[in-house]
Amino acid sequence: MTAPSDRTYNVLFLCTGNSARSILAEALMNKEGAGRFRAFSAGSMPVGRVNPHTRPILERLGFRFEDFRSKSWDEFAKPGAPALDFVFTVCDNAAGEVCPIWPGQPMTAHWGLPDPAAVEGSEAEIAAAFADTARMLTNRIRLFTSLPLASIDRLSLQTKLREIGRAADQAQIQAQPAR
């Protein structure tokens, strides 16, 4: 039997197009979670390509841009898909859509962020928007990965997940064990 601390949690990040925010979240969680978490990303209406402005961030994290793809959330509702422990929406459109039934009854929360792919302007302005999104996701993911998942009750954990997603400035949230 596996000890709770040895468990790997599967996390799915959802967005509509699965080209920027959810891709960044997948990479950041896999980096920050380092074996304790295994992240995936998908979209309700995937655009079929990863936004090229994610490349510098993915490569700084040690990933190859080519290892990421825009895919449908249907892949994770099929038989044989990884059993999900957590599902986070990172865009407001995906949060309002009817999601598939996820195997394993994962905990869900909305962690909405502005879409850096919608930013218009110079290359520097676009790069800054993507960097800002990555920073916000990193803050949320660090708070999440610091939660005592093996010892916190489900209701308290759900509350913490929602708090992480609602905070405008993630430094305001203290990732403390629930009482």
Among 5, 13, 7, 1, residue whose Cα is nearest residue 95: 13
Catalytic status, residue 90: no
If one counts every other C-beta atom within 10 angstroms of the C-beta of residue 85, the result is 19
From 99, 119, 128, 173, the catalytic residue? 99
Residue 151 falls in the annotated catalytic set = no
* Chain-centroid distance, C-alpha 12: 6
Indicate which residue of 91, 117, 134, 164 is catalytic: 91
Rounded Cα gap, residues 112 and 82, in angstroms: 24
Distance CA 21, CA 89 (A): 10
Q: Respond yes or no: is residue 164 known to be catalytic.
A: no
Distance CA 33, CA 177 (A): 18
Catalytic residue among 14, 15, 20, 58: 15
Cβ atoms of 89 and 15 within 8 Å: the answer is yes
Residue 15's nearest CA partner among 103, 162, 118, 85 is 118
Catalytic positions, written as ranges = 15, 91, 99
